Amino acid sequence: MNTWSQISFQDSSSPLMEQLLFFHDHTMLIIMMITVLVGYMLFSILFNSFTYRYLLEGQSIEVIWTILPAIILVFIALPSLHLLYLLDEIYSPSMTLKTIGHQWYWSYEYSDFNKVEFDSYMTPITDLPKMGFRLLEVDNNTVIPYNTQVRILITAADVLHSWAMPSMGIKADATPGRLNQSNLFSTRPGLFYGQCSEICGANHSFMPITLEMISPFSFFKWINKM
């Protein structure tokens, strides 16, 4: 999760988020190279006292500064398109989780397991555990097995919401009357936090999401208790 002084992305907990971080670093490296090159050229032009009086046109340099940006854009567009299709692909999910946004809480349905469903409200500050995180803890964690392909169906019951889990690379709008679909695959156990990312009313800031990743064996034990 984010800390108070963190300005970069959260550590990835899914293969898709890892690829998103790699693409971010790849793009930032290209931008830094362009910035250094343009800065050097501007610096050299500003402090150069020589001029070429007979320069009327430069076909060669015009061809270069037209083709070179196009090539750079190709190097950015190809991995971007690859990631875009990866985010939408869902290969034979092992289970389906339905997420419904309300004003102002989330409800979850495990329709594959005899209609296991519950509501998830933010834990009030007065009820927080000693090491709990303010505005992020909930009364019912969303339990999901790791190393398992999970399909998430996202919708809303009243107004627009957005189900966002930054460490998983997921942000999907919850729209009333429509089902959005996303996939989730975590590689490690733990607690992962997210929040509603669409302004949905007065208590928009109080709609946290807490995913609890556990082993498949522990998940089936939890399902049997529900």
Report the CATH number that the domain containing residue 37 is assigned in CATH. Answer: 1.10.287.90
- Burial group, residue 30, by CB count within 10 angstroms (0-12, 13-18, 19+): middle
Greater pLDDT, 19 or 50: 19
Tell whether 34 and 133 lie within a shared domain: no
Tell whether 50 and 143 lie within a shared domain: no
What is the DSSP track for the chain?
Answer: ---TT--SPPPP-SHHHHHHHHHHHHHHHHHHHHHHHHHHHHHHHHT-----TT----HHHHHHHHHHHHHHHHHHHHHHHHHHHHHH---S-SEEEEEEEETTEEEEEETTSSSEEEEE-BPPGGG--TTPPTTT-BSS-EEEESSS-EEEEEEESSS-EEEEEGGGTEEEEE-BT--EEEEE--SS-EEEEEEE-S--STTGGG-EEEEEEE-HHHHHHHHHH-
Report the CATH number that the domain containing residue 108 is assigned in CATH. Answer: 2.60.40.420
Give domain status of residue 114, yes or no: yes
Tell whether 74 and 152 lie within a shared domain: no
pLDDT, position 33: 94
Helix pair 15-46, 59-88: axis angle to 10 deg: 160
pLDDT tens-digit readout, 17-44:
888 899 999 999 999 999 999 999 899 8
Give domain status of residue 204, yes or no: yes
Tell whether 168 and 146 lie within a shared domain: yes
Domain count for the chain, please give it. Answer: 2
Tell whether 170 and 62 lie within a shared domain: no
**What are the beta bridge partners of residue 164?**
171, 195
Q: Residue 156: give the domain boundaries.
A: 95-224
Q: Nearest 5°: CA angle at 144, between 79 and 83?
A: 5
Domain boundary among 70, 88, 106: 88
Domain boundary among 38, 55, 88: 88
First vs last C-alpha separation in the chain: 28
The pTM for the full model equals: 0.79
pLDDT tens-digit readout, 161-190:
999 998 888 898 999 999 998 888 888 898
pLDDT, position 2: 66
pLDDT tens-digit readout, 101-156:
999 999 999 988 877 889 999 998 888 888 888 888 898 899 999 988 899 999 99
Tell whether 195 and 99 lie within a shared domain: yes
